[in-house]
Chains A and B, each alone.
Chain A
Amino acid sequence: GAVVSQHPSWVICKSGTSVKIECRSLDFQATTMFWYRQFPKQSLMLMATSNEGSKATYEQGVEKDKFLINHASLTLSTLTVTSAHPEDSSFYICSARVPSDTQYFGPGTRLTVL
C-alpha cells in the first residue's frame, strides 16, 4: 500500500510555456501532500504544503504565482509551473502523508525548459 504516482515522468518544454505535474495517492486518501524540488546531486527542498480544499502554504522564497498548486481532491494535487524558464529545470517530487506520519514519495518528474 501507500503508493504515490506522478505524471508525467519527464517533460521538455519551451521557455515561456506552462507545465502541469500531477501527484496522485493511489491506494489511500491524503489530506496533505507536499511538493519538493531537487537539483542534481543535492538534497530535497520543500516548496509548499498542499492541503485538500484550501490554499497551499508556500515556503519562504517560493513564488506562489509561479508555482500554482491545486489540491482538488483527497487523492490528487497538481503543481503548475507557469511561464517556465531554464532556471526552473529541476526534478520535482511530491509526497503524501499517512496517519502514521510517514511520507510516501512519488517517482518524481524531471522538467527541462529549453
Chain B
Amino acid sequence: SQQGEEDPQALSIQEGENATMNCSYKTSINNLQWYRQNSGRGLVHLILIRSNEREKHSGRLRVTLDTSKKSSSLLITASRAADTASYFCATDAFGGGNKLTFGTGTQLKVEL
C-alpha cells in the first residue's frame, strides 16, 4: 500500500496546549497537503506545502516538510475545543497525475 502513516492515531490535549501530528510517506512528491475533517463531514483544506519548501505557516498552523526523511508535521498552537477533528495528510506523488494519497489520520480531541 502506498498509504502514508500518521502518528499519533489519536491525541487528547487541553485547550491552550499545542498539538503536533506527524506524517510519513513513501514516494517522491510534488506537494503534501493537510486536511481537517469533522465527524461525518467533508474535508477542509488547511495547507499545501511544495517539495521545495521546508516550512509554511497559516494562522495557528505550522507545517514542516523533510523530503529526505519523507515526513511532515502539522503543529496547531494554542489549541481550541473547536479544533477537535480528524487531521489527514495527503501526498501528490511525483508523476502521479495529481492524485492524492491520504494518510491514516490523527484524531485530535481538545478538552476544555
Contact = CB atoms under 8 A, between A and B. Distances in A.
Interface residues of A, number: 25
* Best-surrounded residue of B40, B44, B104 (most CB of chain A within 10 A): B40
B99 A105 contact: no
A68 B41 CA distance: 23
B42 A93 contact: yes
Interface in B84-110: 88, 90, 92, 97-105
Interface stretch (A13-21, A43-51, A69-77): A43-51
Interface stretch (B30-38, B55-63, B73-81): B30-38
B102 to A, nearest CB: 5
B42 A106 contact: yes
Nearest to A59: B99
A95 B101 CA distance: 13
Q: Could you say which interface size class chain B belongs to?
A: 20 to 34
A46 B33 CA distance: 15
A106 B99 CA distance: 16
Given A101-B48, A102-B45, A105-B35, A43 B40 contact: no
Nearest to A2: B45
Contacts of A104: 45
Contacts of B98: 32, 97, 101, 103
B50 to A, nearest CB: 8
Nearest to A104: B45
Given A34-B99, A103-B98, 12 more contacts: A6-B42, A36-B102, A43-B105, A44-B43, A44-B88, A49-B97, A97-B98, A102-B48, A103-B100, A107-B41, A108-B41, A108-B42
